[in-house]
Structure 1
Amino acid sequence: MPFPISYDPDPVDSAAHLIQVALTPVFMLSGIGTLINVFNTRLARVADHLEDVRKKLSAPPSDDTPADPLNTPERLHSQQKRLHRRVFVLDAAILLNAIGGASTCGAAMALFVGSIRDASTSAWLLALFGIALACTVGSLMFFLADTLLSWHGLRRDTNLTLDAE
């Protein structure tokens, strides 16, 4: 006696394929979330350093403390300018990552809407996922710019320290 329910492998295969495809945005969102966390932590450290430089600039020099050649007003203004650049590029990296995350969510939504309504949403899916990838690459480029600014500042500080000795 055969079972009353017929087994058609196509719906199961298509559902399995949909689940496999839906996992791609989940992994991408996880990576984007991790990058945003890294960029926010780095931005907080830069902001703390910028606040320290502002305090040093606003503090009047006292007569009893010896002059520090590494904390001259010119050098502190130079550090302040570099730190402002770093804040800008990190803000841009976070913004691009946020847009990439939103686009990834939109791509996942287009995928599900297309599968539920049997509508052709492939153009939306490709556009949103392409935007997500482009924004993620752009945010990594801004992160590279921040890293280069940081390295430049460290090298400059090291050279000034060696020259002062």
Structure 2
Amino acid sequence: MSPFPALLPDEPVDSVAHLIQTALTPVFMLSGIGTLLNLFNTRLARVSDHIEKTTESLDEANSATQRRRLRQHLTHLHRRTLLLDAAILLGAIGGASACGAAFVLFLGSLRDSAVAWWLVLMFGVALTCTVGALGMFLCDSLAAWHGLRMTTSWTRMPKPKS
């Protein structure tokens, strides 16, 4: 007899432990996705600040070569914002799907119904979107590294003689 008969049916401990373990998986995934979203948003804010500084530099540029390089750099930064926007969108969808998976587990345990296909769908979408968000973040990182190499090569180029 269970000490709390109204709360838990007479289930084996292994079954209840497995239910708790399974229910916690989407919660841990959601925590990781939240951390990734924080990282993506911070990075997007830094790129946005860099766009503002580059735009100010473009307004103050003296030569056509400087303006051309700054416009190229702005185009590069704009592409990075699109990649980070996509990473944030995919991360948010992944987080919502992880919440949905936890909710489906909760409903399934309450109603004792067959919700396995909903669970697989929600958790699958969460995993797919998280992988997509990480892929967009990798693309942004590659773009940032490429931009850093380009900026470094600009500073090493000899300045035109006036």
Deviations 1:114-152 (A, max 9, x none): 111011000000000000000000001100110111011
The residue aligned with 2:128 is 134
The Cα shift of 1:60 comes to 6.4
Task: Pick from 98, 107, 113 the counterpart of residue 101 of structure 2.
Answer: 107
Query: Residue type of the partner of 1:46?
Result: V
Aligned to 2:86: 92
Report 1:16-165 matches (<5 A): 16-59=17-60, 61=62, 72-164=66-158
Q: Distance in 2 between matches of 1:88 and 1:101?
A: 20
Q: Which runs of 5+ in 2 are unaligned?
A: 4-8
How far the C-alpha of 1:83 sits from its partner, in A, is: 0.4
- After superposing on structure 2, the runs of 4+ consecutive aligned residues of structure 1 that deviate more than 6 Å are 6-9
> Percent same amino acid at aligned positions?
57
The aligned residue for residue 64 of structure 1 is: none
What's the C-alpha RMSD, in Å, of the aligned pairs? 2.1
Residue type matched to 1:159 in 2? S
CA drift of 1:163 comes to 1.9
Give the Å deviation of 1:164. 2.4
**Long gaps (5+) in structure 1:** 62-66
Following the alignment from structure 2 to structure 1, what is the Cα–Cα distance between the partners of residues 16 and 137? 38
Range with bigger deviation, 39-48 or 15-24: 15-24
Shift of 1:159: 1.5
Q: Secondary structure at the match of 1:72?
A: helix
1:55: Cα distance to partner?
Answer: 1.1
Q: Distance in 2 between matches of 1:51 and 1:110?
A: 44
